[in-house]
Amino acid sequence: MMVATNLAGRILKVNHAGEHGAVSIYSGQIFMARFTAKLLLPELLTFRAHEENHRATFHNELRRRGLKRCKSYWLCAAGGYVLGIGTGLFGANAISLTTVAVERTVLRHLRHQTELLADDADAISAISSILSEEQEHHDAAENHNRTPGVFGQMLSSALAGATESVIWLGMRI
């Protein structure tokens, strides 16, 4: 049980840091969307509010377990904000491609986590409580996407790889 408890703690820490990164991505995109994609602002504000709630869910579970946040917490914030500003600079399509790529990766990890942590009802509850909103973000953004083209495909691949890398790093530091 100790191994599962340690794994659950690491996963919850990384999820908390990831949600902080997501808040930062949306914050950067919201800043830029005022100039490049005004029509997306209401949706981006809603998504950021969801991510703030998700971050609070994981924060509360970490506190309940007596765990500190992940060492990658501020790295996720800084990287997320830069990513949000950068993709927001390219407008609505890049913003939507970012959400799809990041959420697709995150959803795969969250679903896998529910299998790994099947014996930890509290961890499963925290993870499961955010799945539908993360799926909603993915689906709404996917509906905005035009045919991505070469730039969009490269951006999507790079973002999925970066998201995987941040998760991998968070689990190891």
Q: Can you give the residue ranges of every domain in the chain? A: 2-172
Tell me the Cα Rg of the chain.
16
Q: Nearest to residue 56, comparing CAs of 9, 11, 8, 12?
A: 12
Helix (H, G, I), strand (E, B) or coil at 70: coil
- Fold of the domain built from segment(s) 2-172: Ferritin (1.20.1260)
pLDDT per residue rounded down to tens, the chain (173 residues): 444 569 999 999 999 999 999 999 999 999 999 999 999 999 999 999 999 999 999 999 999 999 999 999 999 999 999 999 999 999 999 999 999 999 999 999 999 999 999 999 999 999 999 999 999 999 999 998 777 788 888 999 999 999 999 999 999 98
Model-level pTM? 0.94
Each residue's pLDDT tens digit, 114-152: 999 999 999 999 999 999 999 999 999 999 877 778 888
Cβ-based neighbour number of residue 63 at 10 Å: 11
